[in-house]
Amino acid sequence: MIVSVLVFLISLPLAVYTLAGVYQVIDGANRIGALMQLAFRIVLVALLLELTPAGSRIWIGAAFLLVSALHLSAQLVLRWALTRGHWQTERIE
């Protein structure tokens, strides 16, 4: 039980770090550097998977799903608010 909680808590920042690497590859101008950084982050995830007991590996996936769901829901809410005019987006000069 305690190992599962620790794995989940370690996986949360790693999931954020890896998801940021994915968006850096999509948005970045330096694609080679971004791909190298993403490869390093994936190696860290693989290392965590290798060192984690088999029963606790589900929590790594749960952390990645949670981070992805939070990111996508925040993105959709922001897009909805901007298209409905709830926020002022014009420049004030």
- Dist. CA 40–CA 10, nearest whole Å: 17
User: If you average pLDDT over residues 27-55, what whole number do you get?
Assistant: 90
pLDDT score of 84 more than 80:
no
Q: How far is CA 92 from CA 32, 82, 88, 89, in A?
A: 38, 17, 10, 9
Q: How much is the pLDDT for 68?
A: 94
Instruction: State pTM to two decimals.
Output: 0.77
Which among 67, 28, 72 has a CA at the least distance from the CA of 45? 67
